[in-house]
Structure 1
Amino acid sequence: MAAGIPLNDADRWDWLILLRDQALAALNQGAKGVVVTCSALKKKYRDVIRTARLYDDDPNAAVHFIYLRASKEILLARVKARQGHYMKDTMVLSQLSSLEEPDRAEIEKLKDVKVIDVSGTPVEVQRLAMAAVEKVLAEGTVVAKS
């Protein structure tokens, strides 16, 4: 990505499995919850992380996603404002073309996706995201942020 080359599915699989397994290891070592941040752009990527509940020793373990919804214009403006960051406009556009927003089944049936509108200031978005994470962690669950 630093070279401006988008990751493909093959690039992501082992990384997603590693994130899932590291979260489970932290839970098995006594953590009450784990926050994982990643761009789980596609449903199948989120599904890899969702399988954590199948491997966890705690039958009450759960996975939740905080989906940060933003317009292309907001994302491009924020990336342009970054100084010295590898993420450029072309990479944002590439990620948007790959993006599969959480669908109705994920939000209403699985009930494991919280959608946060990020059109506010970064501080406002941080507050909204932290409130969503804290609510989920208070319930004793694993959280992934995408």
Structure 2
Amino acid sequence: MSFANEDEVRRYIGGIFETAFKDPEIGPKLVDTGIVLKFDFTEPDAVLIVDMPNQQVYQGDVPGTECSATMSMTCDVGNAYWQGKVNLPFAMARGKIGVDGNVASLLKLAPLGKKLYPTYIETLKNDGREDLLA
């Protein structure tokens, strides 16, 4: 099973960034990256823009926003990543995750994301979305 629609992608994957921004350890590190990251998901189609410096998550394209990098993947891959089931460099090498833009900055974000896996899994469980657990 996958996300039902773009709103669910925003709630769960976008929500993990909102949680990260509030974390006293992770939040400032995300802001310091200066990255504006675009996620282009398929199955279902969804676009999220995560503006690290301004601590904002947007659903859909934002006119005039300059993104540092774009990551393209299926929602299933994105969901599995936030559960710690996908190795970012290997997924990129195998074509499961496409990246345009500043790849080095994305790889620097990966260690920060690992600290959020338990929070993401807990959110799915709390919402009764065990169907999304890998």
Asked whether the two chains share a fold, i.e. TM above 0.5, the reply is no
Using CA pairs under 8 Å that are at least 6 residues apart, name the structure with larger relative contact order, 1 or 2: 1
What's the TM-score once normalised by structure 1's chain length?
Answer: 0.30
What's the TM-score once normalised by structure 2's chain length?
Answer: 0.32
Larger Rg: 1
Considering fraction of residues, name the structure with more helix. 1
Considering fraction of residues, name the structure with more strand. 2
